Amino acid sequence: MGPKVVCVGVDGMSYRYIKSHLKHLPMFQRMFRMGCGGELVMEEPLGTCEAWMEFLSGAGASLRSKAAAHHKRLPMLWNYVTDAGMKIVAVDVPVPVEAGRVGGRLEPRPCPVLLQQDYPHPEDVLMRAEDCLRRAVHLARSETCDMLLVGLPPVDLFARGPRSEAETFLVAHKSSDSVLRRLLHDLEPEYSVVFSPFAVARGTKTKPGHPSGDNGLWIVNGPNVPHGLRADARLVDLLPTLLNLLNVRPSGKPCTDGESLYQKVRCEVQTARV
């Protein structure tokens, strides 16, 4: 039996690019049709580690600044999950050392969180994606976890390949689509979440055809998730969404600026039916 929730993050994916290439991306096409999703709006330009830290903490720039001013460390996703007596396994999640990495393992609480963090060179990215898939499936099964969090290689690692820019990005997205399909097929989670913490804000000047400058994306599939519903979200909304899917209720008020998208879209659907 697989984890209840599988969450996959892929840096550099653009909602607009994905939607315009769905005929080449059957898994993304299926997930959009069978669940809800939309643009993941970046409120400010963020690098990869900053974006993942915002996702994992659910804290926007203002809340992070206040915490830093008071020398306070914000709780992370795995803190909430392990405090609830659940287990989370993380594979290739690009978080900085100060987030708690110790000897290749993240152990913020007694329940272990496994972490592998060594991004590949561009020429090795396809092999790395396959390796990430194998390790993620193995760890999720052997550790009998409640949640699996996976960071796939960023699609922009393909940009230096021998093909044209348009071809390299399509190859990158096809690879992520294939890995995502096999991961969810092998583990059969109750809920699946895919997101791209896109690292470039809307309006940034980029080359024609390059997805940079658009917003990222988010998709949620699972029981009682409305089919085909589109809604925009913020990166900070993903933390409370994942806690909601896991049925984790923090003892105190969560230090987050976000709101659960699962509850939001269900309320919207119920309101529309009235």
Q: How many CB atoms lie within 10 A of CB 253?
A: 6
Confidence of residue 213 (pLDDT cuts 50, 70, 90): low
pLDDT mean over 256-260: 79
Which of residues 83 and 272 earns the better pLDDT score? 83
Residue 153: predicted pLDDT: 74
More confident residue, 49 or 235: 235
Distances (CA, A) of 55 to 61, 158, 161, 255: 12, 24, 29, 12
Amino acid 26: pLDDT = 95
Residues 13-51 have pLDDT tens digits of: 888 889 999 999 999 999 999 999 998 887 776 777 788
pLDDT for residue 22? 93
- List the structure tokens of 232: 């925009």
Selected residue with higher pLDDT from 84 and 47:
84
Q: What is the DSSP letter of 205?
A: -
Q: Quick one: pLDDT at residue 200?
A: 45
The sign of the CA dihedral 46, 50, 55, 57 is negative
Q: Which segment of 40-44, 170-174, 223-227 scores lowest on mean pLDDT?
A: 40-44
- Give the CA radius of gyration of the chain: 18
* Domain region containing 132: 5-273
CATH of the domain at 22: 3.40.720.10
How far apart are the C-alpha atoms of 194 and 60, rounded to whole Å?
Answer: 20
Identify the pLDDT of residue 100: 42
Per-residue pLDDT tens over the stretch 182-194? 999 999 999 999 9
Query: Hey, what are 82's tokens?
Result: 């392990």
Instruction: Output the pLDDT for position 164.
Output: 62
Q: What percent of the chain has pLDDT over 90?
A: 20
**Mean pLDDT of all residues in 220-237:** 86
Q: How would you classify the pairing of strands 233-234 and 88-91? A: unpaired
pLDDT recorded at residue 126: 65
Which has the closest alpha carbon to 13: 178, 172, 231, 246?
Answer: 172
Provide the sign of the torsion angle of the four alpha carbons 24, 28, 31, 37, taken in this order: negative
Which pLDDT score, from 0 to 100, does residue 185 have? 92
How many domains does the chain fold into? 1
Per-residue pLDDT tens over the stretch 115-169: 444 444 445 566 777 777 888 888 888 878 899 998 887 765 554 555 566 777 7
Residue 2: per-residue pLDDT? 79
Computed over every residue of the chain, the mean pLDDT equals 75
Residue 67 has pLDDT above 80, yes or no: no
pLDDT of 9 > 80? The answer is yes
As a residue count, the chain comes to 274
Query: What per-residue confidence (pLDDT) applies to 209?
Result: 40
Q: Which residue has the higher pLDDT, 221 or 204?
A: 221
pLDDT on residue 28: 95
